[in-house]
Structure 1
């Protein structure tokens, strides 16, 4: 029987293909995996909403390489490969590896932001260079592998297109100077809107101008620049297939805040960056991001006149900033040897075959059951906790419930729980963090990870609570999703809050919860007992104890838990709907119980 793993490449957008296709080709060509493609339903995009999915022609082309699945679950992959944190579109897929698709931040990636924290939703993250890895360590706690920039294999690999080959294909005199204009598409960042017809002046009898626009550029600008090229024999409008050739052929690049200028720096050739006057209006502008900190490797211009002068100067003195460019190349692209795709494929295979995985973490868990909970119910709770904690070895202590006769894979103290016993158990914990929760809860996959991450993001925290109050969960989800109506379905809330609220928390001292994680810094202070008749009261008491020792209590927005019992869950949902004024929906749901 074949031990080949099934690897799915999920293409959220067309611009992800240059990063996903080469890895799929490497795996298939070498017989290392069974591969397939999938994508969301195609949406062409608008000026306000970016494109997603793939047009029919691209799907047909991919099907020549590997099967395409409209319903990705039909493939039953062992792992799914993405080029961005697009988990909201694939809620049913647990094992995801993100290979990334860029080298810069744009205020969202490789920076201290809530968007960056989405990377924790994957099991493994591949990054281009050591600088990217360093910038992620404060927010991303999954394994990070350095593989090099996948697209740079087209610059350094054996199959690169030379300047001579490119010029011959396009009918360009290779003795002429060649300038590449490659802007981004955002109106606040792009040079497209600023230069327009003025870009013609770069071309002359000795200088050829190549124009390569971003895939996300508005059609009206694509048409404008295509017409500029059509009217001048020294100007050429390029398509995606020209990447390797245009990069090697060009003597100089004109760009703005596009990631392609970083890619061009890898070749140690001069770059001119046009400053859009609206630059700082970009909603995610951050001066400390990669695309701004690296601008000392380029010449910055603010007008067409400055641009034309800079073109003349840089073509005459191309080595002026060579040392700076080389320094950034080492920091931003590991290897630069044409083997980035191979390293990415090897990292994926290591993960899917269980090689080089991080050690599981030991964690103590205190499970508080109702007095009348039967052994089978307790066993199901234990199994649910373990199954959904793949990165942890859970040592579970059960308090409450009926006598189990030693059938449980946990220590068990049946009958009513006593606070002094719970405090003694906490004081004796051997793990850096201990989880306490009520029995009968459905927990998100990897639930310990989502709670423990908040201790890293919030120093001096003693207690992190899970979200277990459905009304508060619904309100948070409505705010995060901008939904006009409240979302009360517990399954949707569990996944939606994780994906849209990852890394977010609020002050939680006074907010009730049936699950919390306790930091070991609090253990020595647990010396007495607090009167508590329920798990919620017990957890609240621990929060007050943390406060008395100058430690925070946080309520995680991204870790929602709800009742496993179907009838109890529906009754809770009905109650939530009524509290939120959704009486018709509550009545309809109540009818389902009859």
Structure 2
């Protein structure tokens, strides 16, 4: 029986790693969880939580995480499955020296990580797709992905989502417009934010709730996608997830705009941009389709299985890369302090 440790530092790890847990169990394997941040309290009956000593005694074959670190002193192949798509923020294509294997989502990321793997030699790359999206591609409610979109609702429903960093977030800048547009009933709104959004901003938007605007606190933003006709955002990786549904996105001062987005840089452009998105112009819809194929071409809902296959292949090939990982002493020291473990590195 193969054993896999699912490692998280934020609650969003649950939505990313639970499809992997399901795939592990279907194969007759065993999964357990470790958290060094929020998330453990949200585990449910049947999900096993380990502490540091428990992990070392259990000796997993692999440790999988969507984060950018994991303890070098945990047994098993160290696997990065990513917490989101490349949204133009710093350090998405960035090698931190913790991982043996990177499981990439699509051709765009694969090419960049593989070039670094060829140069550095201390990690491998496998294009698998993203486990978080497996339920979305399998779910009956999103069969629209494989065919024509349903008509825009009457009234249309808009998902407003923002990242948390003040330098990237438009939540405060667009607050007045969302407040104004959510009161006349022409459009309906669902608002959701990154878990790290400042509490003051969250409180302001929660106070806007009325018959036309709902503040959603769903753990998994994918659950909201079938309920809406378009998204408004800024520089959030969630907008790439949304584009895979084939629906339009309006962004405010996006760090990496392209033809797949309606990007604006002035507040007074917000309302007309929404109207254009809801009209679904053909050139925009074609750009969205092409973008989706570049970042995540697999639509079969089997990315988790491909991740496990990639791990099996890596182990079968000897479980090593052609060069050892860097010493990484400062980062390892910080992670030991974070977890509170000062024991030996080897089991």
CA contact (8 A) 1:155 1:247 kept: no
Sort the Cα spacing of 1:256 and 1:109 in 2 relative to 1 into closer, same or farther, 3 A: same
Taking only aligned residues, the RMSD between alpha carbons, in angstroms, comes to: 2.7
For 1:159 and 1:346, the matched residues in 2 are separated by: 26
Aligned-residue offset at 1:248: 2.2
For 1:154 and 1:67, the matched residues in 2 are separated by: 21
- SS of residue in 2 equivalent to 1:192: coil
CA contact (8 A) 2:12 2:219 kept: no
Given candidates 111, 114, 122, the residue that maps to 1:137 is 114
Task: Name 2:154's counterpart in structure 1.
Answer: 175
TM-score (norm 1): 0.50
Task: Name 2:163's counterpart in structure 1.
Answer: 184
CA contact (8 A) 1:197 1:228 kept: no
Query: Structure 2 matches for 1:235-246, cutoff 5 A?
Result: 235-241=213-219, 243-246=221-224
Given candidates 35, 57, 63, the residue that maps to 2:41 is 57
Given candidates 492, 496, 499, the residue that maps to 2:329 is 496
Task: Name 2:206's counterpart in structure 1.
Answer: 226
1:304 aligns with 2:262: no
Q: Which 4+ runs in 1 deviate beyond 6 A?
A: none
TM-score (norm 2): 0.82
1:336 aligns with 2:316: no
CA contact (8 A) 2:250 2:274 kept: yes
For 1:296 and 1:391, the matched residues in 2 are separated by: 38
Sort the Cα spacing of 1:212 and 1:159 in 2 relative to 1 into closer, same or farther, 3 A: same
Sort the Cα spacing of 1:298 and 1:122 in 2 relative to 1 into closer, same or farther, 3 A: same
**Which of structures 1 and 2 has the bigger CA Rg?**
1
For 2:283 and 2:229, the matched residues in 1 are separated by: 14
For 1:238 and 1:215, the matched residues in 2 are separated by: 12
1:346 aligns with 2:291: no
Deviations 1:288-331 (A, max 9, x none): xxx61x53311121233210111122212443412211111111
Matched positions, count: 319
Task: Name 1:197's counterpart in structure 2.
Answer: 176
Higher RCO (C-alpha 8 Å, min separation 6): 2
For 1:198 and 1:255, the matched residues in 2 are separated by: 13
Given candidates 263, 269, 280, the residue that maps to 2:241 is 263
1:124 aligns with 2:105: no
Sort the Cα spacing of 1:269 and 1:336 in 2 relative to 1 into closer, same or farther, 3 A: same
Gaps of 5+ in 1: 41-52, 111-115, 164-172, 277-290, 361-389, 393-447, 452-493, 502-594
Sort the Cα spacing of 1:234 and 1:16 in 2 relative to 1 into closer, same or farther, 3 A: same
Task: Name 1:249's counterpart in structure 2.
Answer: 227
Task: Name 2:59's counterpart in structure 1.
Answer: 76
Aligned-residue offset at 1:241: 4.6
For 2:233 and 2:14, the matched residues in 1 are separated by: 22
Aligned-residue offset at 1:109: 1.2
Task: Name 1:101's counterpart in structure 2.
Answer: 83
Task: Name 1:539's counterpart in structure 2.
Answer: none
Given candidates 29, 33, 39, the residue that maps to 2:35 is 39
Task: Name 2:147's counterpart in structure 1.
Answer: none
Deviations 1:462-486 (A, max 9, x none): xxxxxxxxxxxxxxxxxxxxxxxxx
For 1:32 and 1:335, the matched residues in 2 are separated by: 24
